[in-house]
């Protein structure tokens, strides 16, 4: 016996993780007659004219797809044939397509690994030993890698029995007549979203911003998302039941601390009907659309200041905009991806497309000796279209996550925020980067001699020099982004000139007014009575003076004339005070006072601020910057502003740079921002004042947004040195 054959017969010489397989091979009879499990679920599938077979293992709920030629061989493992007999029967039925015995044995081994064969008592015991060993191995690997706090799964229940009892109550939702009516309702609901998209989108962005919200809002979000998520997943589950499948797992996970839910839909992969598989993928969105329609109707008919109105509106946003922009997105494995893959009849589209384009890159760009999977022309076309888009989207999400980490760290460690964000980012996505670096390492090892040759080394030196030159030339302008709250260029607070009751509102909130235009009217019964009395007294005294003058009584005439003059002065004073009852705007602009109509009938004292008018033809934003960055900005630099309600950015310029305390103390910089929105680190903070032309009036005071300011042109080398030097001066020193 050779060493190789001897080693192959020893269990201890078997590769790690295959001990049970080696033991099974050792104790197996030479006349073994393997048999497929009796409880396998087998379905014939026709995908674009190709016959395939879907096989589900009910024990581990895994589904496997086999080509027709493969299934012709697999079905011969029925427990009545040995491998030699299977070989003979297959070759006799496929003249011209004969296979060797090794292929039969390979299929047997593969099917055993898939756990598709019946097991003897010995094999069951050995499999249990292997299962325990693999569990310990996984535990050790998880302990070595650490607990992933960004993905915490929770298995909730096996809902199959519950679904069997309740599916009869919801089956009617999938009837064609009901679906047709539902589509009409969904279109009407969508029209509400389209007509108010700017407002709804802005409030959706605000809804998902939890940094400045109380715990009650977060609890509301989590509760609504939990209820909607459960209904969504049961939509998938009921769709599977309606079309004859089983569901054995429903649960949820905290994905980056956000609740995410899942449902086992593996039975959909063995549905013969393509449209049934599509309905399963659509089931969650279908039920969620019903919730959105009901919530939209409730939001329309309820009063704005009620709890029902608030909950209905939040439910609308969660089920409407979130579904449209996240759930239907096919670039990640959400409902949109499963809908697309079901329609294209490519259940492994994402995995196979990534594998295909990865092999192409390694083969034709890195020139590595890897095998490129062979696919049909249709699959190649789909994979070459889908994979780059999905990879680009994944990269975009990764960049967004880095910015989230950077934003969080910047609130605590201002100077080291980017470094800490990068370290956290690399740790979170360490598995992806390990794959990338393994490819780079394989490329280096494979091309080491080629790269070290004199000819290539000279080219690399030239490329390195060119790269250094690019890094040294100051042609790049680095953008800096800040959160801001918009405010008017000028604004005036209008005060009551006298005591009175607001009798008329002459201008509404958001209405444009000119300088001197009356905004509201006051009424003052005492003042009106004093005016009438002064007018009457003046008339009486003037008649007395005329009578005394006609009678030639000089003394009486003088006394009556003096009283008439005093009465006229009093009347003038009352009329001047009455003119103050018309409250007028001192500047041209827009009425900014919210709900100004609520002032109707309210008593105000002299000097009370009752309205605000701002000049919104120009909008300003106060941008807080640290001392580290203030040297990079100067008046006249360009600024771009992005607000949630507008797609295109608005361009403006910096008009002033001042210390934070000076800028925020300036009367001309009066802002509607709250104290929490102003710079918190005042001692070493400065403020840039950016101004934006607003002739259309679409930018409103109080809007929040993000501004992007481009610094002066500096090379990457200078920029890096500035960061290091500043860190040395401020942190180390």
Residue 599: what pLDDT? 81
Provide the pLDDT confidence category of residue 731 given band limits of 50, 70 and 90.
Answer: low
Please tell me the distance from the alpha carbon of residue 623 to that of residue 630, in angstroms, as a whole number: 11
pLDDT score of 684: 47
CATH of 479-485+618-732, one of 1.10.1200.10, 2.40.30.170, 2.40.30.20, 3.90.1150.10: 2.40.30.170
Please say if the pLDDT value at position 579 is more than 70. yes
- Distance of alpha carbon 202 from alpha carbon 573, whole angstroms: 52
Tokens of 84: 């030699």
Which among 56, 35, 42 is positioned nearest to 119, based on CA atoms? 35
Confidence of residue 180 (pLDDT cuts 50, 70, 90): very high
DSSP state for residue 393 in the 8-state scheme: H
pLDDT bucket at 127, cuts 50 / 70 / 90: low
The helix (run of H) or strand (run of E) holding residue 25 is: helix 19-27
Q: Indicate whether 251 pLDDT > 50.
A: yes
Tell me if 652 sits within 8 A of 710, measured CB to CB.
no
Cβ atoms of residues 623 and 688 within 8 Å? yes
From 106-120, 241-255, 571-585, the region with the lowest mean pLDDT: 571-585
Q: What is the pLDDT of residue 386?
A: 92
Distances (CA, A) of 123 to 23, 58, 227, 308, 500: 9, 19, 44, 60, 96
pLDDT of residue 122: 62
pLDDT value at 732 more than 60: no
| Contact (CB, 8 A) for 83 and 29 | no
pTM of the model: 0.56
Average pLDDT on 41-57 reads 77
pLDDT at 129 (0 to 100): 60
pLDDT at residue 260 greater than cutoff 50: yes
- The domain locations on the chain are 14-140, 151-344, 397-472, 479-485+618-732, 487-604
CA gap 141, 469 in Å, rounded: 45
CA dist 605 and 603 (Å) reads 7
**pLDDT the model gives residue 385:** 92
* % of the chain surpassing 70 pLDDT: 80
Cα–Cα distance measured from residue 592 to residue 613, given in angstroms and rounded to the nearest whole number: 6
pLDDT of residue 666: 44
Tokens of 368: 């590595």
732 DSSP 8-state letter: I
Please state, rounded to an integer, the average pLDDT across all residues of the chain.
77
- The pLDDT of residue 677: 41
The set of long-range contacts for 563-568, using a CB threshold of 8 Å and a minimum separation of 24, is 563/537, 564/538, 567/534, 567/537, 567/538, 567/541, 568/538
Tell me what pLDDT residue 715 has.
76
Strand 650-659 and strand 603-604: the pairing is unpaired
Q: List phi, psi (to 5°) of 635.
A: -55, 140
Q: Which CATH architecture has domain 14-140?
A: Alpha-Beta Complex (3.90)
CB 480 within 8 A of CB 714: no
Residue 714 or residue 287, greater confidence: 287
Q: What is the per-residue pLDDT across 317-374, written as a single tens digit (0 to 9) for each?
A: 778 766 666 677 888 777 888 888 888 878 788 888 988 998 898 888 877 788 888 8
- Helix residue ranges per DSSP H, 512-553: 525-551
Q: Helices 349-364 and 335-344 meet at what angle, rounded to 10?
A: 80
The pLDDT tens digits for 377-400 are: 888 899 999 999 988 888 888 888
On the question of pLDDT at 515 being above 50, the answer is: yes
Integer Cα distance of 76 and 33 in angstroms: 10
Nearest by Cα to 582 from 519, 528, 529: 519
- Angstrom distances, CA of residue 647 to CA of 196, 230, 306, 325, 705: 14, 33, 32, 15, 12
User: 449-493, pLDDT tens digit by residue?
Assistant: 777 778 777 888 888 888 888 888 877 677 778 888 888 888 888
Q: Name, of 56-60, 166-170, 198-202, 274-278, the range with top average pLDDT.
A: 166-170
Per the CB < 8 A criterion, the answer to whether 156 and 49 are in contact is no
Tens of pLDDT, residues 623-676: 888 776 777 788 888 888 888 767 678 888 888 887 765 555 444 433 333 433
- Residue 447 region, left (φ>0) first, then alpha (ψ -120 to 50), else beta? alpha
> For 675-714, how does the pLDDT look when each residue is reduced to its tens digit (9 = 90+)?
334 444 443 468 888 889 888 777 888 888 888 887 777 7
């Amino acid at each position: 016996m050779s060493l190789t054959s001897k080693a192959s017969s020893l269990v201890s010489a078997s590769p790690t993780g295959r001990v049970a397989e080696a033991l099974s091979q050792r104790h197996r009879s030479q006349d073994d007659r393997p048999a497929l499990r009796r409880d396998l679920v087998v379905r014939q599938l026709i995908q674009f004219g190709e016959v395939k077979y879907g096989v589900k293992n009910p024990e581990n709920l895994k589904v496997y797809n086999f080509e027709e030629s493969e299934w012709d061989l697999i079905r011969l493992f029925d427990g009545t044939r040995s491998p030699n007999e299977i070989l003979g029967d297959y070759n006799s039925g496929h003249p011209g397509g004969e296979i060797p015995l090794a292929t039969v044995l390979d299929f047997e081994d593969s099917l055993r690994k898939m756990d598709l064969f019946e097991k003897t008592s010995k094999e069951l015991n050995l499999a249990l030993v292997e299962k325990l060993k693999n569990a310990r191995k996984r535990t050790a690997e998880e302990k070595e890698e650490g607990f992933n706090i960004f993905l915490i799964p929770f298995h909730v229940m096996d809902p199959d029995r519950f679904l069997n009892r309740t599916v009869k109550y919801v089956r009617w939702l999938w009837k064609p007549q009901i679906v047709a009516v539902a589509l009409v309702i969904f279109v009407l609901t969508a029209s509400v979203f389209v007509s108010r998209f700017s407002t709804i989108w802005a409030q959706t962005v605000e809804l998902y911003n939890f940094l400045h919200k109380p715990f009650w809002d977060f609890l509301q979000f989590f509760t609504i998302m939990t209820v909607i998520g459960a209904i969504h997943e049961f939509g998938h589950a009921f769709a599977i039941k309606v079309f004859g499948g089983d569901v054995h797992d429903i649960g949820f996970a905290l994905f980056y601390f956000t609740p995410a839910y899942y449902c086992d839909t593996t039975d959909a992969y063995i549905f013969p009907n393509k449209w049934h598989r599509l309905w399963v993928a659509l089931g969650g969105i279908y039920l969620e659309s019903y919730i959105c329609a009901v919530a939209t109707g409730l939001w329309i008919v309820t009063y704005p200041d009620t709890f029902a109105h608030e909950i209905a509106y939040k439910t609308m946003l969660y089920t409407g905009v979130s579904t449209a922009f996240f759930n239907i997105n096919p670039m990640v494995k959400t409902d949109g991806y499963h809908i697309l893959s079901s329609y294209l009849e490519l259940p492994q589209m994402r995995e196979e497309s990534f594998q295909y384009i990865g092999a192409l890159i390694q083969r034709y760009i890195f020139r590595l000796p890897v095998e490129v999977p062979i696919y049909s022309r249709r699959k190649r076309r789909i994979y070459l279209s889908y994979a780059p888009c999905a990879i680009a989207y994944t990269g975009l999400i990764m960049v967004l996550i880095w910015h989230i980490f950077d934003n969080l760290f910047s609130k605590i460690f201002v100077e080291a925020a980017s470094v800490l964000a990068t370290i956290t980012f690399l740790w979170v996505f360490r598995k992806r980067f390990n794959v990338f670096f393994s490819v780079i390492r394989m490329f280096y090892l494979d091309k080491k001699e080629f790269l070290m040759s004199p000819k290539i080394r000279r080219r690399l030196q030239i490329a390195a020099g060119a790269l250094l030159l690019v890094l040294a030339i100051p042609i790049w302008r680095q953008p800096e982004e800040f959160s801001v709250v918009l405010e008017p260029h000028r604004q005036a607070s209008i005060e009551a000139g006298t005591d009175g009751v607001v009798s008329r509102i002459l201008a509404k909130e958001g209405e444009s007014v000119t300088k001197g235009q009356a905004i509201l009217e006051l009424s003052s019964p005492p003042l009106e009575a004093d005016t009438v009395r002064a007018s009457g007294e003046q008339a009486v005294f003037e008649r007395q003076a005329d009578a005394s003058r006609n009678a030639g009584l000089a003394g009486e005439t003088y006394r009556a004339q003096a009283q008439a003059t005093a009465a006229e002065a009093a009347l003038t004073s009352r009329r001047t005070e009455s003119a103050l009852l018309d409250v007028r705007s001192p500047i041209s602009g827009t009425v900014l006072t919210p709900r100004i109509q609520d002032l109707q009938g309210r008593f105000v004292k002299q000097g009370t601020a009752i309205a605000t008018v701002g000049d919104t033809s120009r909008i300003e934003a106060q941008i807080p910057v640290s001392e580290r960055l203030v040297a990079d900005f100067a008046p006249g630099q360009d600024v771009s502003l992005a607000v949630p309600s507008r797609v295109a950015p608005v361009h403006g310029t910096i008009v002033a740079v001042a210390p934070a305390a000076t800028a925020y103390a300036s009367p001309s910089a009066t802002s509607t921002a709250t104290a929490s929105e102003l710079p918190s680190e005042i001692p070493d903070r400065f403020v840039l004042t950016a101004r934006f032309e607003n002739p259309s009036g679409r930018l409103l005071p109080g809007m929040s947004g993000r501004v992007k300011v481009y610094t002066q042109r500096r090379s990457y080398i200078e920029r890096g040195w500035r960061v290091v030097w500043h860190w040395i001066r401020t942190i180390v020193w």
